[in-house]
Chains A and B, each alone.
Chain A
Amino acid sequence: MYSLLKNISHKKRIDLFIVLFSILIFFKLILPASESYIYYFFNEILVLTVFGLGLIISKTYLSDKKNQPLHLVLNSGVIVAGIFLFNSLSLNLLDNVKNDLNKIPLYESFSSVIIVIVNLIGALIFSAALIYLFGIFHQLFLLRQKKDLSFYFNSMSIFFALSFVTQFLEKKNEELEFIPITFFAMSVILIIINSFRVAWIAFISKRQKLYVLLISTILIVLFAINLGMAEDDGFTKNFLVNFSPGLHFFLTILLLYGLIYYSVLFITTLFHLPTAEAIDKKVEEVSSLIDLSKLMTRVLDIKDLSDSITNYILKVINSDAAWFVEVKKEKIEIHSTANIEKNLAEEITKNCLNNNLLDKEKVSVLNKTQLVVDPAINNMVDYYTIISAPIIRHEINNGFIIAIRIKTFQFDDDEIKSFQAFAQYAAIAFENAKLIEESIEKERLESELKVARDIQYKILPREIPQYSHLELSAVFIPAFEVGGDYYDFFPLDTCKLGFVIADVSGKGISAAFIMAEVKGIFESLSKSIQQPRNLLISANSILKNSLEKKNFVTAIYGIFDCKNSRLTISRAGHVPMYLCRNKIVNKFIPNGIGLGIEKTNIFESNIKEIDIDLIYGDVITLFTDGISEAKNKDLEEFGYARLEKLICENSDLTVDALSKKIMEEVTVFSENYQQHDDITLILFKWKNNLTAEVK
């Protein structure tokens, strides 16, 4: 029947309960008492069914308190106290009331009606209380169960039920008394078995255990007194038996259950008290590990993470101070400390490392005597034991978590194991934080490089001037890290074209900023100074004051003049300029120190200016060291010779085609090697036929 009831929905159960409950009330009002067997039998079955349903329904409400053993214990206490109150009050006030419904004539006087109703209400309240109590015992039984023991509880419930329905026999027929007594005995045996399911006591804290000890003492007394009172032939027993002899049995058996259960609980708790502190510590360890694993995903800042690690260590292994140290190539970095000065932690770590006392793969425990530490440190910190666990990242030792204990007892095996587990967690968390820091740094560098590249593109000329007497081509290929190449053209008048090619030392954003400055300088100087040498002298005098000592700029500045068919150039530390005429290459390296290098007047006295008279078909090549220093996978440089040969062999091509050819060769040459520097290639071809003829 129980299993049948189990399968129907909660709502239907309630409906069924209401129906049966109404039948019971109705039945009890019509026939409050009778001496016949059939009456008793029918009565007991009806009451039991209502009880069973009530139990199942109450279970849904009780299961909310599943993991609150103390709450359950307290609730049972409240009920038993209520029963006690009722018993003691009725003992004094109502004991004289004649309450055997079988012996008083019913429905013949008003008082008898009152008695019937009082009996009924009292019995119903008791029933509700008992069902609730039974539910509590069931929940307590289920607490912290690791395997299915419902068989024992269910058999006990069945024997309860059997005793329940046969209870009236005890009263009616002395010969059949053995039946309820046997069932009762079986119930008691099962109660004893079930009362040993008190495993939950192990998992509560020491304070809670002390609390349970106190409560269970009170409960034992209350249950015992109630049990005694229930057996007295008083008012309570009378009205319960009137309602149903089984109900009285139910009260008795539950009080007995409570008595046994709380006695067992009391004794178990008493035995658990000595280990309570150890359990508390274990629980804290576990929760610290859980906290750390949460931290792993949340805390991404290395400082915050390190602080948490050291603080947890204090709890996990009950140490007096702890610190977290990262070991890099040759130096150590203390990321966080707890209860110890940073420099002191550093001293101790250094000493341990220098003496090879810390195991790089597993936990090491050191005693004070093992340490060869400066007496100064020894006096500063009064430690007894040092424990260290390695932080391993990519199978390489990255550092240590170190803790010290002042108390003069050793770290035990359990603590060492938790310490190790904790260190492994910490290593993962640390690794995560590191990776994130690295990727943020990488992102920052990349965005910085992007800014630098943007600056460079804005600085370089967007359009190349067009001339009938001069073919012109400019190619620029940036390196991943901006290299600081710069070129520009300055149409000075209808017949004069100034140009500059420059290379700023260094890379990245700083090179890009210098480039911007250089552009400004050349743009303004080109307007006022028409001699390349003087222009570079002025540029140097500006740059030598504005550049940092370690920075410099190499440049070639030149002017094409169509009137005289002449090219005038000056060089400041830059790679050579080539002139190819009749398939023969001339290299031009006039004297000149790089801009921003020399702060005395040596620059001025050193720099030269050369004039070259051009003829039709002359090819002039300017470039930056990105070409000559382009490397292949064997780290061989492209060099000047290859470039010269290329220019020579292809000087008949248009400048655009020649430029393409050179770039192709450079690309093929350095195919398997990353481009490290910007590449700039500027080609001019002199097409001024007329002037050449005049000359």
Chain B
Amino acid sequence: MAEFNVATRVQGGVKIIDLKGYLDAHTAPDLEKTFNRLIEEKNYKVIVNFEELKYISSAGLGVFMAYIETMRENSGDIKFAKMKDDIYNIFDLLGFPVLYEFFKEEKDALEKFNLKL
């Protein structure tokens, strides 16, 4: 089975999720758990770091869709950072760039969060 790992850290009041490996129908529940915990802890500002993500399936994409509303309703957001081209293409095909914010670097995303404040 393909490996997948999800870790969280905090930077400047924003939670950063680091994804690693293969995010598909089998590993998506792990990421869901992470989001559930963030919401429980009332962390609504989230940056997802895709630097080490190798693959994302439709079920993986679905996870972000499932939580984006809750984040935005609580004046937070999910922003994507450090995405490689092949992964970005998948998001792009689906039309995500119209709905989500993508950043080259984490700090750009952080700045964007701070600007809003």
Contact = CB atoms under 8 A, between A and B. Distances in A.
A576 B96 CA distance: 16
A440 B9 CA distance: 40
A206 interface: no
Chain A: interface size category: 20 to 34
30 contacts: A504-B58, A505-B59, A506-B25, A506-B59, A507-B59, A508-B25, A549-B62, A550-B59, A550-B62, A551-B62, A552-B61, A573-B93, A573-B94, A575-B93, A589-B93, A593-B94, A593-B96, A593-B99, A594-B94, A597-B94, A597-B95, A597-B96, A597-B99, A598-B95, A598-B99, A602-B98, A606-B95, A625-B58, A635-B55, A676-B24
A592 B95 contact: yes
Given A507-B59, A593-B99, A598-B99, A574 B93 contact: yes
A606 B96 CA distance: 11
Contact of A594 (B55, B57, B63, B95): B95
B62 A554 contact: no
A549 B72 CA distance: 14
Interface string B10-34: 0000000000000011000000000
Contact of B69 (A549, A552, A606): A549
B65 interface: yes
A288 interface: no
Interface in A550-574: 550-552, 554, 572-574
A450 B19 CA distance: 33
Contacts of A572: 95
Contacts of A552: 58, 61-62, 65, 94
A431 interface: no
Contacts of A592: 95
B66 interface: yes
A316 to B, nearest CB: 41
B22 to A, nearest CB: 9
Contacts of B57: 677
Interface in A580-610: 589, 591-594, 597-598, 602, 606
Contacts of A504: 58
Contacts of B69: 549
A211 to B, nearest CB: 65
A502 to B, nearest CB: 12
A592 B96 CA distance: 10
Contacts of B99: 593, 597-598, 602
A606 B92 CA distance: 13
B62 A506 contact: yes
A593 B98 contact: yes
A573 B55 CA distance: 18
Nearest to A596: B65
The listed residue with most B CB atoms (<10 A of its CB), out of A505, A508, A548, is A505
Contacts of A44: none
A285 interface: no
A573 B65 CA distance: 14
Contacts of B61: 505, 552
Main secondary structure of the interface of B (DSSP, over half): helix
Contacts of A625: 58
Interface string A487-518: 00000000000000001111110000000000
Contacts of B98: 593, 598, 602, 606
Interface centre among B25, B55, B59, B61 (most CB of A within 10 A): B25
B93 A505 contact: no
A598 B94 CA distance: 11
Interface residues of B, number: 21
Identify the interface centre among B2, B24, B59: most chain A CB within 10 Å of its CB.
B59
A550 B95 contact: no
A507 B93 contact: no
B1 to A, nearest CB: 11
Contacts of A602: 98-99
Interface string B98-114: 11000000000000000
Given A506-B59, A552-B61, A625-B58, 8 more contacts: A505-B59, A550-B65, A574-B93, A589-B93, A594-B95, A598-B99, A635-B2, A637-B86
- Most A C-beta atoms less than 10 A away, residue of B58, B61, B62, B93: B58
Interface in B53-96: 54-55, 57-59, 61-63, 65-66, 69, 86, 93-96
A550 B66 CA distance: 4
A592 B99 CA distance: 12
Nearest to A603: B95
Contacts of B65: 549-550, 552, 597
B95 A505 contact: no
Contacts of B58: 503-506, 552, 554, 625
B94 to A, nearest CB: 4
Contacts of A576: 93
A203 B93 CA distance: 82
A602 B68 CA distance: 16
B93 A550 contact: no
A548 B95 CA distance: 18
A602 B95 CA distance: 10
A284 B8 CA distance: 55
Contacts of A573: 93-95
Contacts of A551: 62
A18 to B, nearest CB: 84
A554 B92 CA distance: 12
A161 B69 CA distance: 106
Nearest to A506: B59
Contacts of A507: 25, 59
A108 to B, nearest CB: 112
A624 to B, nearest CB: 10
Contacts of B93: 554, 573-576, 589
4 interchain residue pairs of minimum CB distance: A593-B95, A550-B62, A505-B58, A550-B66
Nearest to A548: B66
Nearest to B63: A550
Interface in B35-52: none
A594 B99 CA distance: 11
Interface string A166-187: 0000000000000000000000
Given A549-B66, A550-B62, A552-B61, A591 B95 contact: yes
Nearest to B54: A635
B116 to A, nearest CB: 19
A118 to B, nearest CB: 97
A597 B94 CA distance: 9
B14 to A, nearest CB: 23
A146 to B, nearest CB: 58
A572 B96 CA distance: 11
A625 B93 CA distance: 11
A548 B59 CA distance: 12
Nearest to A600: B99
A299 B59 CA distance: 39
B28 to A, nearest CB: 8
Contacts of B54: 635
Contacts of A594: 94-95
Nearest to B25: A507
